[in-house]
Each structure stands twice: as C-alpha cells, then as structure tokens.
Amino acid sequence: MTSTPPRFATEVTLTGPWRAPAQMLADQVIDGHASVHDADAAASMGLAGAPIEGPTHLSQLDPLATLLWGQRWFEHGCASCHFRTMVVEGEEVQATLVADGTDLASAEAHKRDGTPVLVGTVSVGDAGPTELGSRLAALGDPGQLFVVDRLEVGMRMDAGVVTLSRTEPNGPLYPFSLDDKVARITEPHPWYTAEGGTSSPWGQAIVPIEMVSVLAHKSGGGFPVRSPALGLFLDLEVRLVDGPVLVDQPYALAREVVGLSQSRRTESYWTRTTLSDVERGTVTAEVLLHQGVFKASYPGYPAERLS
C-alpha cells in the first residue's frame, strides 16, 4: 500500500531570463479599423506606445512550468494571468514562478525597472482556484453599460471549426502565421517546428500555449459590442484539458459570455471558448478571456460618464 508523502514547506523560486517580446499586431484590423496595437490608435488613448499582445507573455512561463511538471505541462497545464501594465516593443520582461511542491504555483512578470507586467497562477490538472477563476467568481453588478450593454451572461455561439497551419495568416485579428510566431517567440522549442515536432511525445508538432488563444479567437465573429471602439486584453487563462493542441488538427469552437464588468476607463466582458477535437469529440482546451473596451474610444459614450 502506498500513500502520498507530505510535501516540503519550503518554497522554490524559479526565475527566467530577460526577454524582449516582439510586436506582431501592428497591422491588426477589428471591425474595419486599426486596433490599439497600432501606434496612432494607441496614442489617441494617451498610451505611451502600441502594446504587445498579452498572450505573448505566457510563453515566458512555459520553461519554468516545464521544470516543475515536465510533459504534464503540455498536456494539462493552465496559465491564468491578470495583466497589470502594457509592454511596448523594445522593453524587456522577466518571469518568475514560486512553487511549493503542489500542482499550483504563483506567477509574475516585471520590467527592468520593477514595473509589474502580470500576476497569476500556473498549474496542472485540477489544482484549485486559478487567478482568473477567483476574479470571475468575485464579480458583482457591473452597473449601467453603454458599449457592452447588448451582451448578457449566458450568451453562446458556435464559432466554427478552425485549424492552425504553419504558413497561413490567421485572419485580420491575427495577421501572422504560426511560422511567423515561432520565428520570433521568446521561448523557442523544437516541438513547435515541423522538423522537431516528429520527435515530440505525440509524434507531431504542437501549438505553443500563447497561440492557443489565437486559435480560440480565429473565427466565429464576436458578440454584439458597440463599434467603433478600441479594446484590449485585461486577463487571459489558457487551460489544456486534454492537450496538447496540435498543428493542422481541426478543432470546433464554442464560445460563451461568462461575465460583465467595468472600471473607470473601460467596460469589459468575459468569454470562455472551448476547443474540441473534431476527430475524437473530446475537449482539448479552454480559453477564458477578459476583454476591455476603452470608454473614450466609443463616439457615442455619454460625456458625463467619462470624467
């Protein structure tokens, strides 16, 4: 008879190298207009520069999580992050995990001057409340809304079947290919490539965790958010239920609104997108996304509500 030994009380801190993530959404188009990742659009909102897309920062957590959990990270890992500060191209970022021997660790990333970029959790399996799970559970009444007012918690849509190929761009929202991303990703891995993928434990190339978000939002259109308006990612959780996500594999997308909220500058909505393997009929991954919309970017927003 075996029993689970008690874990050590000692915490272990894993710190990654400094990385300078690349801006790959300068040409992004949403509803026919440039996004906040365009320099001019960012300047119109008083931002210091065009922010790098939030999912990019998840890659810096991958090597650290792999040190903790090995292959399990690619099959059942979950990165759950609240973005604190935008990063512009040229800035360097460092990621850190603090682990205590369980399947749940805390995560953070910061700039050279100590400015926090993100905080969150990484975990494998069902290890307990994630950063975003806790934040979503704590939501209250969002109050009166003017940009996401046509959304309701529980709204659903089938977003079609999608595949992530190596060379095809991923539409106006993500005008770059997987090969483009792999060439500039902060943490390269042989399993992401056509050549190295055949030596992976699954016999083919896998999709980087940051690109699972791209795949989840590649098609299906959006919910009826009023436009034109500039949006940004506030929180992101990528959970591998029965992973990894594979290159050239078809996945069916189902999307649901699971929360509404607002802050002084933004109105926002939470969606959960489920990726199901078409061939096996099983859930491969889930992506929980909290998107904000700048109130001041919507021409119809009541002026008295912007002070």
Instruction: List the alpha helices (DSSP H) in the chain.
Output: 39-44, 62-69, 72-76, 131-137, 178-184, 194-197, 209-216
In angstroms, the CA 123 to CA 273 distance is: 19
Indicate whether 133 belongs to any domain: no
pTM reported for the whole predicted model? 0.91
Indicate whether 2 belongs to any domain: no
Q: What is the pLDDT of residue 231?
A: 82
Indicate whether 132 belongs to any domain: no
Nearest alpha carbon to residue 76 among 213, 203, 244, 204: 244
Q: How do residues 89-126 score in pLDDT, each as one tens digit?
A: 899 999 999 999 999 999 999 999 999 999 999 999 99
Hey, which bits of the chain come out as E strands?
12-15, 29-30, 33-34, 77-83, 93-99, 104-111, 116-124, 156-162, 231-240, 251-262, 266-277, 283-294
Indicate whether 135 belongs to any domain: no
Indicate whether 138 belongs to any domain: no
Q: Encoding tokens for residue 18?
A: 């400094």
pLDDT: which is higher, 236 or 170? 236
Q: What is the pLDDT of residue 24?
A: 82
Cis peptide before 228 (omega within 30 of 0): yes
Indicate whether 170 belongs to any domain: yes
Range 216-243 average pLDDT: 89
pLDDT band at 287 (very low <50, low <70, confident <90, very high): very high
Q: What is the pLDDT of residue 43?
A: 57
Range 149-167 average pLDDT: 95
Indicate whether 23 belongs to any domain: yes
Phi, psi values for residue 234, rounded to 5°: -100, -35
pLDDT band at 52 (very low <50, low <70, confident <90, very high): confident
Q: Encoding tokens for residue 296?
A: 């001041």
Are the beta carbons of 277 and 207 closer than 8 angstroms? Answer: no
Give the domain range for residue 87. 12-125+144-305
pLDDT band at 230 (very low <50, low <70, confident <90, very high): confident
Range 261-274 average pLDDT: 96
> How many independent structural domains does the chain possess?
1
Average pLDDT, the chain: 90
Q: Encoding tokens for residue 132?
A: 């975003």
Indicate whether 136 belongs to any domain: no
Which CATH number covers residue 275? 3.10.129.10
